[in-house]
Amino acid sequence: MTGTTVRQATCVAIAGRAVLLEGPPGCGKSTLALKLIDRGATLVGDDGVALSLANGRVMAAPVETIRGLVEVRNVGVLEMPVCAAPVALVLRLASDAPRFVEQAESTRLLDQPVPQLWFDPEIPAAAIRAELALARHGIVFDLHTAGKPAHN
């Protein structure tokens, strides 16, 4: 395992795969994370995620200083259960995200390729669309081969 890098993002794990939510302050990262958590996702980190490389995959874990804390606008800072998971998809939140996507772009995290989609969190059913994006474009990890990415 390599050293840890803290990335300014919010992250949840869905069925053992992490989805990194990135964008400027106030764009809806925490709100989308809460919608996903309401549907069964687990918080990895809000407004900060520790990234490291293990077995050829990028792992996302809570940052210890903010572990389990999520800012809920108009409510306050709440504590939630957390987990760590391999990063399978990056959603870059933007109101001008393209309507139709044939194929995910690729970004690099810790010099590893990770699929990336531009994503509008304000369109209805954002949590369902994020889950569908993970199912269609996210990395599928083969747990039987030391966590190496398997083909989608």
CB 141 within 8 A of CB 147: yes
- Tell me the pTM: 0.90
Q: How far apart are CA 33 and CA 123, in angstroms?
A: 15
Share of the chain above pLDDT 70, in %: 92
CATH topology of domain 5-144: Rossmann fold (3.40.50)
Share of the chain above pLDDT 90, in %: 86
Q: What is the CA radius of gyration of the chain?
A: 14
Sort strands 85-93 and 57-62 into parallel, antiparallel or unpaired. Answer: antiparallel
- DSSP labels for 48-100? -EEEEEETTEEEEEE-GGGTTEEEETTTEEEE--B--EEEEEEEEE-TT--S-
Is 106 or 2 the better-scoring residue by pLDDT? 106
**Per-residue model confidence (pLDDT) at position 2:** 55
**Per-residue model confidence (pLDDT) at position 15:** 96
The model's pLDDT over 5-50, given as tens digits with 9 standing for 90+, comes to 999 999 999 999 999 999 999 899 999 999 999 999 999 999 999 9
Kindly give, in sequence order, each residue whose CB lies less than 8 Å from that of residue 135, ignoring residues fewer than 6 positions away.
Answer: none
Looking at the predicted structure, is the pLDDT value of residue 147 above 80?
no
The model's pLDDT over 79-93, given as tens digits with 9 standing for 90+, comes to 999 999 999 999 999
Element (H, E) at 29: helix 29-38
**Per-residue model confidence (pLDDT) at position 142:** 78
